[in-house]
Amino acid sequence: MIRDFEVPFGGTLLQGDQFVGTDSNRVLYLHGAGASSRHGHRLLRGALQQRGIGSTSFDCIGHGDTGGSLAQSSVASRTRQAQAVTAACALPEPLAVVGASMGAYNAIRMTQSHAVDALLLIVPGVYTPSAYEIPFGPDFSAVIRQPRSWVDSDAWEILAQFEGRLLVVAAEHDATIPLEIPERLVAAATRAQSRQLHVVQGAEHNRLWSLLAEQPDKFAAALEMVSAVLR
């Protein structure tokens, strides 16, 4: 079963859906930036649902069915949108949070406001604190396009406090996220119950799960890894 919903946020209605699971429904799934939306993650969410693991996802302002202008949002606003959806949908805690690309940083930030015992970060991006509240647009781009602007991210310190299960999935040929970022995220989580980095060979930033789906054995192995973390 897939259940659609909308959540009021700052004069906008966030559009989302819940892939209802038979075993658990505590997964919050956050999409990335650019042309991303929740619809681009149906492959993994559907496979998880078949294993009994439900997930809740929504289109951030400026994306997908929610629409609106990206200039109305920011990385910080995305976190607040995720918090609003979590509250409106009454997601049970501890949460298991999945974040893809920019959504991975929002997922990390969610550990500061909610009980989270599982994190799945896919091709994760992290950001300098000075970019957090800047509305999306030229000023935001100017900050994050500074060489290695992510080095002073607070993601490392936040993850150092995380005590749950962490899985970071990276793409071998990611032209957007240098491998150093997922490596450092895993290294930072010194208090995690478990932590693992899985690099998908041959994958690109926007072609990871679809590539694995062409290799059923590898897809099944990756899905087993993900399921073990999120349950």
pLDDT digits (tens, 9 = 90+) for 182-215: 999 999 999 999 999 999 999 999 999 999 999 9
User: What percentage of the chain reaches a pLDDT higher than 90?
Assistant: 99
Q: Count the domains in the chain.
A: 1
Residue-level pLDDT at 76:
98
CATH number of the domain at 36, please: 3.40.50.1820
pLDDT value of position 204: 97
Across the chain, what does the average pLDDT equal? 97
Shortest CA distance to 196 belongs to which of 206, 182, 217?
182
Q: Label residue 15 by pLDDT band (50, 70, 90).
A: very high
Task: Look at residues 89, 102, 97, 96 and name the one whose alpha carbon lies nearest to residue 63.
Answer: 102
Residues 6+ away with beta carbon under 8 Å from 12: 61, 66, 68, 72
Q: Which domain holds residue 73?
A: 2-230
Residue 59 binned pLDDT confidence (cut-offs 50, 70, 90): very high
